[in-house]
């Protein structure tokens, strides 16, 4: 028992906990990180059969616990009866090359992990080649963000820039055409002639894109019948991403 508790403490120090069938399955399919251990319930949950198909032959450290224990471990009731300790999320070490990644997404201070996850899900589904996040004032890629992305964040190539301005200037220098999604004072996004390589910039939920970086790109907007209403950040990002990918 003491050895098991020691292993659990080590897992918490060195690894990350993810939960839900889709995040675990996509993590196993992406093969970017290693499965350290897995928790489930007895009787086995319905989701277990789906997860089991992707598990390696030699599964390390399967432990059976109650749903209440999983609730406490994950801080959520949306774990579907399965959680896993995995090695840390691997960020890209270098910024992107426009020849290899002509379609990028840059997020400026998106702070809600569910919005972040939903945006990353849309990015994957619209064929984005890479995502740039900023270390300051932004939500990290947590288990909740991965859950909100349905696990698809596991497949994305993600670079962490030190700041928004640093990211924009670096991408401009590399040759990317920057398109800044704004609520107003931008060109109608349906009428813009987009040029690759391109990077779509989505701002924070509260203040949008920082004013000091707006001059470095073309401002685009989604025209709406009610100027006092606005799309949720993740919904707007999904619309812009679909529009740019189809253009």
3-state secondary structure the chain: CHHHHHHHHHHHHHCEEEECHHHHHHHHHHCCCCEEEEEECCCCCCCHHHHHCCCCCCCCCEEECCHHHHHHHHCCCCCCCEEEEECCCCCECCCCCCCCCCEEEEECCCCCHHHHHHHHHHHHHCCCCEEEEECCCCCCCCHHHHHHCCCHHHHCCEEEECCHHHHHHHHHHHCCEEEEECCCCCEEHHHCCCCCCEEEEECECCCECCCCCHHHCEEEECCCCCCCCCCCHHHHHHHHHHHHHHC
**Pair 80, 22 in one domain:** yes
HSE on the CB side for 2, CA within 13 Å?
A: 0
234 is a domain residue: yes
**Pair 108, 175 in one domain:** yes
For residue 67, what pLDDT is reported? 94
For 8-20, the pLDDT digits (tens) are: 455 455 899 999 9
Instruction: With cut-offs at 50, 70 and 90, classify the pLDDT of residue 30.
Output: very high
Last residue of a domain, one of 51, 86, 121: 86
For the segment 31-59, the average pLDDT, to the nearest whole number, is 92
Q: Which domain holds residue 196?
A: 103-246
**Pair 213, 158 in one domain:** yes
Last residue of a domain, one of 86, 115, 147: 86
**Pair 69, 178 in one domain:** no
For residue 44, what pLDDT is reported? 94
Q: How many domains does the chain have?
A: 2
For residue 70, what pLDDT is reported? 96
98 is a domain residue: no
**Pair 117, 229 in one domain:** yes
pLDDT reading at 118 higher than 80: yes
At 150, list the tokens: 């349905």
For 130-185, the pLDDT digits (tens) are: 999 998 888 889 999 999 999 999 999 999 999 999 999 999 999 999 999 998 88
User: Where residue 67 sits, what CATH number does that domain have?
Assistant: 3.30.1330.30
Higher per-residue pLDDT: 137 or 216: 216
**Pair 110, 219 in one domain:** yes
Instruction: With cut-offs at 50, 70 and 90, classify the pLDDT of residue 2.
Output: very low
Instruction: With cut-offs at 50, 70 and 90, classify the pLDDT of residue 1.
Output: very low
**Pair 124, 82 in one domain:** no
Residue with tokens 């899900």: 121
**Pair 237, 204 in one domain:** yes
For residue 52, what pLDDT is reported? 93
Last residue of a domain, one of 86, 115, 130: 86
């Amino acid at each position: 028992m003491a050895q098991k508790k020691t292993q659990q403490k080590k897992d918490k120090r060195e690894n990350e906990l993810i939960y839900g069938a889709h995040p675990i399955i996509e993590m196993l399919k992406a093969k970017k990180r290693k499965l350290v251990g897995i928790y489930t319930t007895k009787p086995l949950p319905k989701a277990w059969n789906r997860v089991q198909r992707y598990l390696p032959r030699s599964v390390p450290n399967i432990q059976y616990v109650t749903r209440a224990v999983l609730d406490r471990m994950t801080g959520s009731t949306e774990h579907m009866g399965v959680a896993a300790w995995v090695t840390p999320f691997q960020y890209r070490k270098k910024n992107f090359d426009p020849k290899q990644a002509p379609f990028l997404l840059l997020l400026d201070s998106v702070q809600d992990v569910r919005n972040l996850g939903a945006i990353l899900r849309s990015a994957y589904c619209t064929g984005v080649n890479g995502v740039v996040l900023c270390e300051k004032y932004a939500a990290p890629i947590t288990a909740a963000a991965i859950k909100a992305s349905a696990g698809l964040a596991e497949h994305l190539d993600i670079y962490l820039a030190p700041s928004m301005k640093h990211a924009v200037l670096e991408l401009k220098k590399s040759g990317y055409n920057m398109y800044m999604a704004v609520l107003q004072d931008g060109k109608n996004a349906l009428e813009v002639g987009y040029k690759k390589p391109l990077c779509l910039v989505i701002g924070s939920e509260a203040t949008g894109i920082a004013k000091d970086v707006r001059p470095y790109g073309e401002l685009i907007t989604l025209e709406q019948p009610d100027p006092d209403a606005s799309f949720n950040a993740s919904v707007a990002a999904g619309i812009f991403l679909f529009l740019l990918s189809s253009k």
